[in-house]
Chain A
Amino acid sequence: AQSVTQLGSHVSVSEGALVLLRCNYSSSVPPYLFWYVQYPNQGLQLLLKYTSAATLVKGINGFEAEFKKSETSFHLTKPSAHMSDAAEYFCAVRSYNTDKLIFGTGTRLQVFP
């Protein structure tokens, strides 16, 4: 069964610092991978998606993620954190067996001034 693991339930960075949120997937076939962001009291917003095209995927708000098959990873990065990036981030994989969207447990990002 496919799954995703997000390492670190909480990540804290200073404003202007690099943001790195980790996601590892488990899949025996090329997966479809997604990153979503959830701001307080809101639903999920799609940041970016990997669908077996380019391995470096650029998303909204300056975020990007790189698909690394050898490491089964799809880490989310942003060169310079902004206060408005404080939110919870979810990595997700679409299951090939069931077509369901399977989410990781989420990483809460805090940005300090």
Chain B
Amino acid sequence: KAGVTQTPRYLIKTRGQQVTLSCSPISGHRSVSWYQQTPGQGLQFLFEYFSETQRNKGNFPGRFSGRQFSNSRSEMNVSTLELGDSALYLCASSLEPSGQGATKNIQYFGAGTRLSVL
């Protein structure tokens, strides 16, 4: 069974540009969550999607957005990039969304997309 797939693995952008990251969950998983990992702030929750609906959102500005498609694949978009957006962006999938049971909502992570903003 294939794991969580994130593309691309590496991205280099300049300030002011926008970027779209993609995440394909484990087959059968319907919930996708996104995290930002930086040396200074650690792992921070961005948002969670289930059935094409955002269920949960972290404390990030509106420049950060996401969506989920009917096949459970998810994308996140960052507009008007800032230097501080440089980070490893991790996607995690689970069978069911959080709150649906201890086993069904265990999150499995992809390898991440490393974004560098110059």
Instruction: Give chain A's interface residues, CB within 8 Å of chain B.
Output: 32, 34, 36, 41-46, 49, 51-52, 90, 94, 98-106
Contacts and interface: CB of A to CB of B under 8 A. Distances in A.
A49 B42 CA distance: 20
Given A99-B98, A100-B58, A105-B42, A46 B112 contact: no
Interface of B: 4, 6, 33, 42-43, 45, 48, 55-56, 58, 90, 92, 97-99, 102-103, 105-112
A42 B99 CA distance: 27
B42 A51 contact: no
A93 to B, nearest CB: 12
B64 to A, nearest CB: 15
Given A49-B106, A99-B99, A100-B98, A43 B90 contact: yes
A43 B43 contact: no
